[in-house]
Amino acid sequence: MEDVLDAFRAASDPSRLRILGLLEATELTVSELVAILGQSQPRVSRHLKVLVDAKLLVRFREGSWVFHRLNNQGQARKLIELVPADDPVRVQDLARLEEIEQKRDEVAEQYFAKFAPEWDRLRQLDVDEEQVANAVQEMLPLINTQSLLDLGTGTGRMLQVLGPDAGEAVGVDNSHEMLAVARSNLRRWGLGNCRLQQADILALPLASESFDVVVLHQVLHFLKRPWAAIAEALRVLGPAGRLLIVDLAPHTIEDLRDLHAHRRLGFGDDEVREWLAQQGFTCETIRHLSGGKNSDGLQVTIWLARRFASSPLPQAL
Ligand SMILES: C[S@@+](CC[C@H](N)C(=O)[O-])C[C@H]1O[C@@H](n2cnc3c(N)ncnc32)[C@H](O)[C@@H]1O
């Protein structure tokens, strides 16, 4: 009962209720919340502290950015449900959030459009791509893979690595420029069984349960809702399918945000495991690889996931 009372006390302020509503479906930095609420940073930070103390929010730091998200174990979602969806302040807040998220997406899209021609060189600065390719091939023998889906395919690197052993493969990306490079790469590599499709990986125009293997290679750290990309990947995965995620392990190289449009500084195993578990999936294998010679100590993790034996079908987020 104490926790419930603490939750009500903490939320009994208009700004704090607004913050809960904003964090319902995303995680935001303090400065993003400042911009949306139009209040000073100390004031917003005070509100956030009250909400964290009442176990309504979780705070986590990555370099100089501090993020907040809802505490799924607390009462936050129940409190948000009490506010009508058409409440004018709530509607205005969500419109402002949408604006801010759109600007952020544009920065990332412009980055990929600008760097598409040299993406294959840039990718090698972060990690040793041969080491990753070998590990992926070892973890995922594709002997029985009829259909492979590579989400955020970029210039098609994972199609190059896994495509030859798949019956057919599809690479999806929303960047026209990246796909143009991928298209010429596929021709050069002679991969006639691979095709490309321009689409948003958060809302795939693809049928549920239609792929044997889905891959997310170095994509999640660009996204504002990485868990939503995982949920969508799992939706299109067949009942006995495998999801392969390759991404950076937690690191502190903040320059990657400004120079390379990274949103998150890598992911820990527990975080990824939790997102998978929420969708009824479990990690079959996890491998940690150290980065390439120019990587400043960056590490790569590979998570291979499959459905829990008796789990229901995944939920859309
Ligand atoms: C870092 S690149 C990785 C490309 C490739 N997987 C690789 O490892 O070389 C991330 C790719 O994800 C794509 N991307 C980011 N957000 C996306 C979205 N919402 N829908 C589709 N593609 C997206 C970008 O256009 C970019 O090509």
pLDDT band for position 140 (50/70/90)?
confident
Mean pLDDT of 50-57: 96
pLDDT band for position 105 (50/70/90)?
confident
What are 58's strand-pairing partners? 69
Task: Map residue 178 onto helix, strand or coil.
Answer: helix
Q: Is the Cβ atom of 173 under 6 angstroms away from ligand 1? A: yes
Is 256 found in the same domain as 162?
yes
**pLDDT exceeds cutoff 80 at 204:** yes
- Predicted confidence at residue 296, as pLDDT, reads 63
pLDDT band for position 228 (50/70/90)?
very high
Task: Map residue 192 onto helix, strand or coil.
Answer: coil
Span of 49-58, 139-148, 169-178, 260-269 with lowest mean pLDDT: 139-148
Which ligand 1 atom sits closest to the C-alpha of 154?
27
**CATH number reported for the structural domain that contains residue 68 in this entry:** 1.10.10.10
The count of domains in the chain is 2
Which ligand 1 atom sits closest to the C-alpha of 175?
25
Q: How far apart are CA 269 and CA 273, in angstroms?
A: 6
**CATH number reported for the structural domain that contains residue 171 in this entry:** 3.40.50.150
Find the DSSP H helices in the chain. 2-11, 14-22, 30-37, 41-53, 76-81, 88-115, 119-126, 129-139, 157-162, 176-189, 226-235, 255-260, 269-278
Is 264 found in the same domain as 184?
yes
Give the residue, out of 110, 131, 174, with the most ligand 1 atoms within 8 A of its beta carbon, to mutate for a pocket test.
Answer: 174
Per the structure, the complete domain to which residue 245 belongs is given by: 116-307
Q: Is the Cβ atom of 202 under 6 angstroms away from ligand 1? A: yes
Mean pLDDT of 236-251: 94
